[in-house]
Homo-oligomer: A and B are copies of this chain.
Amino acid sequence: MKTHELIAELREKNDTKIVLMVMDGLGGLPLEVGGKTELETARTPNLDRCAQQGTTGLSIPVLPGITPGSGPGHLALFGYDPLEHRIGRGILEALGINFKVGSKDLAVRGNFCTIDNHGNITDRRAGRPTNERCVAMCEKLKKIRIPEVEVFVEPVREHRFVVVFRGDNLGDQINDTDPQAVGVPPLIAEGKDPHSVTSAKIINEFVSQAKTILQNDAPTNQVTLRGFAKYPKIETMEQVYGLRSAAIAVYPMYKGLARLVGMDVLDAGNTLQDQITTLKKVWNQHDFFFFHFKYTDSTGEDGNFPAKVEMIEKFDKIIPEVLALNPDVLIVTGDHSTPSKMKSHSWHPVPTLIRSDLCRPDRVAEFNESACLSGGLGQFSAQHLMLLAMAHAGRLGKYGA
């Protein structure tokens, strides 16, 4: 029996509130032998108190040793198997610019490139145009019309943009048209199944019209397309858990991931304090709140250990305002580790705490990697976190008599 079927059978409604706070890329590594991680270095009295009051552990996002991207990392936290549900590159790119992709959409990442008189690519990134030029060229491409589908073209930055084709029965089993080489023309799109064959014709028509429109715009005089992806079929949080869910995130990508699983995506401003204000405002309207904080990841990616420590401490300071709302279940975790030492996402398990009246206490009184190793949750699959959230919220009945 699949976990979601089990939940559907056991779930119960009540008026409890669950808050899932995600410090992106939370887990870290010491810089030196015998040193401390970012979280071990940070002064986090509020998180430490939550750890003491609640139960702690380390979550494994996908599998031991597997480093997740933001998509799989968050799907796992929301209780979806990230190896079953895959979010293609095109869809993620669209989510990242806050384009509201939906079930009829085929999305793809586009690159402006330069071609010579023979149609061969001479620069795959069109000399990295300015963002302004990217916007201007996308405006031109918005004039493309193709029968039976709506076409959306949106700038990302420099040579990058997103194309979304909206229509019935589109397929995404289509090769990239980017040949990943210069001196050759863009590849012709070909589909691997009947729907994708039809869609490939649409793609080729798009590229053909783009070439005509851009013919006098060298170096941005042609486009290549990479990572065709249909909007994934995925149940909503409401369907799986019966939870009215809200996302309180600042970055478009995480808003997009939340929308993908049917959360209400709120306008949460730009700062942690804006997010807290939003949380307070909508407290009575939802059961579940996904609260996302990006800067623990971005400072980690930058390899900036002290800045990551600072971001953790900044996050710690808002915890009392969340506790003042008296959530029935508060979870603090990350979607993966991003050690400053590695300047990248990593596979290392992620410190996690659950605070609720029904927690079985452990002896952990600090929130960090080494303390959580002794925690009551042990090391567990991040996919099981929502089961624990639902249980501690009294929202899961007994299985079997």
Contact = CB atoms under 8 A, between A and B. Distances in A.
Interface of A: 1, 3, 6, 10, 27, 29-30, 33-34, 37, 53, 58, 62-72, 82-84, 86-87, 89, 92, 342, 344-349, 358, 360-363, 369-370, 373-380, 384, 386-392, 396-401
Complex A-B, nearest 4 residue pairs according to Cβ-Cβ distance, in ascending order: A65-B387, A65-B391, A69-B400, A378-B379
B401 A69 contact: yes
10 contacts: A1-B83, A34-B361, A65-B388, A66-B387, A68-B400, A69-B399, A82-B400, A89-B401, A342-B358, A361-B370
A360 B348 contact: yes
B6 A398 contact: no
Contact of A64 (B6, B84, B369, B388): B388
B399 A66 contact: yes
Nearest to A61: B399
Nearest to A376: B373
A63 B7 CA distance: 11
Contacts of A377: 64
Contacts of A380: 64, 379
Contact of A66 (B58, B361, B391): B391
Nearest to A2: B83
Contacts of A375: 373
Contacts of A62: 399
Contacts of A87: 400-401
Given A64-B387, A391-B347, A86 B400 contact: yes
Q: Which of A3, A347, A363, A387 has the most CB atoms of chain B within a 10 A radius of its CB? A: A347
A386 B62 CA distance: 15
Nearest to A10: B66
A62 B64 CA distance: 16
Q: Which of A66, A348, A375, A396 has the most CB atoms of chain B within a 10 A radius of its CB? A: A66
A391 B67 contact: yes
Given A66-B396, A87-B401, 16 more contacts: A1-B83, A1-B84, A6-B66, A6-B83, A33-B361, A37-B360, A64-B391, A65-B386, A65-B389, A65-B396, A67-B399, A68-B400, A69-B398, A70-B401, A347-B396, A373-B378
A376 B372 CA distance: 10
A213 B30 CA distance: 72
A65 B390 contact: yes
A69 to B, nearest CB: 4
B360 A29 contact: yes
Contact of A396 (B67, B348, B378): B67
B399 A92 contact: no
Nearest to A84: B1
Contacts of A379: 378, 380
Contacts of A1: 83-84
A389 B64 CA distance: 10
A375 B369 CA distance: 12
Contacts of A363: 370, 373
A360 B30 CA distance: 8
B397 A67 contact: yes
Nearest to A388: B65
Nearest to A389: B65
A362 B358 contact: no
Contacts of A86: 400
A30 B375 CA distance: 16
B64 A384 contact: yes
